Amino acid sequence: MTILVTGGLGYIGSHTVVELLNNHFDVVIVDDLSNSEKFILDNIEEVTGKSPVYYPFDLKRRELLTQLLDAHKIDGCINFAAFKAVGESQVIPLDYYENNLFSLINILQEFKTRNISNFIFSSSCTVYGQADEMPIDENTPLKEAESSYGKTKQMGESILKDFATAYHKKVSLLRYFNPIGAHPSAKLGELPIGVPNNLIPYVTQTAAGIREKLSIWGDDYPTPDGTAIRDYIYVVDLAKAHVAALKKLINDPSETVIDIFNLGTGKGSSVLEVVHAFENANQVSVPYQICERRAGDITIAYANADKAEKELGWKADTSLEEALRTTWEWQQYLESRN
């Protein structure tokens, strides 16, 4: 079967392409390189020994998508192509709505017309807002998302539910917690573009001496050590969940399917625990200072991922330390390229 992977050269997309190829799917990638670089495609080929088809275009260009679908028989899609910086989405919300939703609707219009099903959507735990109870399971009520980015994910989910219901399609909405780490080959990982906002890239660059000090945003949260708690999931485990979710859709005999899965480890770790785990795993030090809380941050978010385990036969079992070791190896690789 041939799977269209949009954003397939991005952080989670590239790892998922590798897992798809390892599971004998053919892959057609569309990626406009707005948050990636061409060498990631070479590295996918090096890691897998296979050459996915690649198109460098923006999915808002419907006519280019039409041409692609005329040229390839596509059996499903994993849609990663989207802007994803929470803070930036507050500054340029219209660009977020335009990019994340227009491209999604273009693909769905084509799938509707061409009778293609099996659509997997990159969603996010941000759709829950600040949940009242932990852990967060799939029945936890969705609250208004805190950012325009989160709203594009909530809207994307609604669009897909309506799409599946009205046109009898199979869709899976995957709500990621905090993805971290890099491929064990050290050839794929999160590319550092600008000053990192997320914790792990900032920790890594601080350990590498690129940043002077990590700022820990708040140590007065109501948690055991005062720092905020998240559920950090290893990116390769996350990529494998996509293949499991895709296989479930393909094998499901029903005409209409709307799957929703939380993808996390089920375990929360505080910012200080992450910093110390990174130091232990890599035998490096990470200088830090405690600062004021960051606006918009929630205290605690971790998943109940039992549903994915039960229905997909999937579990995130890579330890935090192991994931953080791969991050450090990826950092060494990036430095060796310079």
Which CB, 130 or 158, lies closer to ligand UDP? 130
Which CB, 130 or 197, lies closer to ligand UDP? 197
Nearest to 99 by CA among 87, 83, 111: 83
Angle formed by the axes of helices 235-251 and 11-22, to 10°? 60
CA distance 206 to 190: 16
Query: Exactly one of 216, 260, 263, 308 binds ligand UDP (CB under 6 A); which one?
Result: 216
Q: How far is the CB of 289 from ligand UDP (least distance, A)?
A: 10
Q: How far is the CB of 287 from ligand UDP (least distance, A)?
A: 13
Q: Cβ–Cβ contacts within 10 Å for residue 218, how many?
A: 18
Q: Does 199 bind ligand UDP (CB under 6 A)?
A: yes
Query: Token pair of 205, please?
Result: 């660059």
Q: Does 205 bind ligand UDP (CB under 6 A)?
A: no
Among 47-55, 61-69, 210-218, 305-313, the segment contacting ligand UDP (CB under 6 A): 210-218
Which CB, 74 or 216, lies closer to ligand UDP? 216
Q: Does 202 bind ligand UDP (CB under 6 A)?
A: yes
How many residues form the binding site for ligand UDP (CB under 6 A)? 14
Cα–Cα separations (whole angstroms), residue 318 to 100, 182, 265, 321: 30, 12, 9, 8
The upper half-sphere exposure of residue 101, i.e. CA atoms within 13 Å in the direction of its Cβ, equals: 18
Which CB, 231 or 237, lies closer to ligand UDP? 231
Q: Does 90 bind ligand UDP (CB under 6 A)?
A: no
Q: Does 271 bind ligand UDP (CB under 6 A)?
A: yes
Query: Exactly one of 48, 90, 215, 319 binds ligand UDP (CB under 6 A); which one?
Result: 215
Query: Token pair of 50, please?
Result: 């296979």
- Between residue 97 and residue 156, which ones bind ligand UDP under the rule CB under 6 A? none
Q: How far is the CB of 21 from ligand UDP (least distance, A)?
A: 29
Query: Token pair of 239, please?
Result: 């990529």
Which CB, 57 or 217, lies closer to ligand UDP? 217
Q: How far is the CB of 179 from ligand UDP (least distance, A)?
A: 10
Query: Exactly one of 15, 170, 230, 325 binds ligand UDP (CB under 6 A); which one?
Result: 230
Question: How open is the CA angle 303-306-308, to the nearest 5 degrees?
Answer: 95
CA 178, distance to chain mean position in Å, is 8
Q: Is the dihedral of CA 211, 213, 215, 216 positive or negative?
A: positive
Active-site annotation holder among 149, 202, 221, 302 = 149
What is the residue whose two structure tokens read 């594009």? 152
Nearest to 79 by CA among 109, 40, 118: 118
Tell me if residue 155 falls in helix, strand or coil. Answer: helix
| DSSP state letters, 36-59 | --THHHHHHHHHHS---EEE---T
Which CB, 22 or 192, lies closer to ligand UDP? 192
Can 149 be counted among the known catalytic residues? yes
Q: Which residues bind ligand UDP (CB under 6 A)?
A: 178, 197-199, 202, 214-217, 228, 230, 271, 294, 297
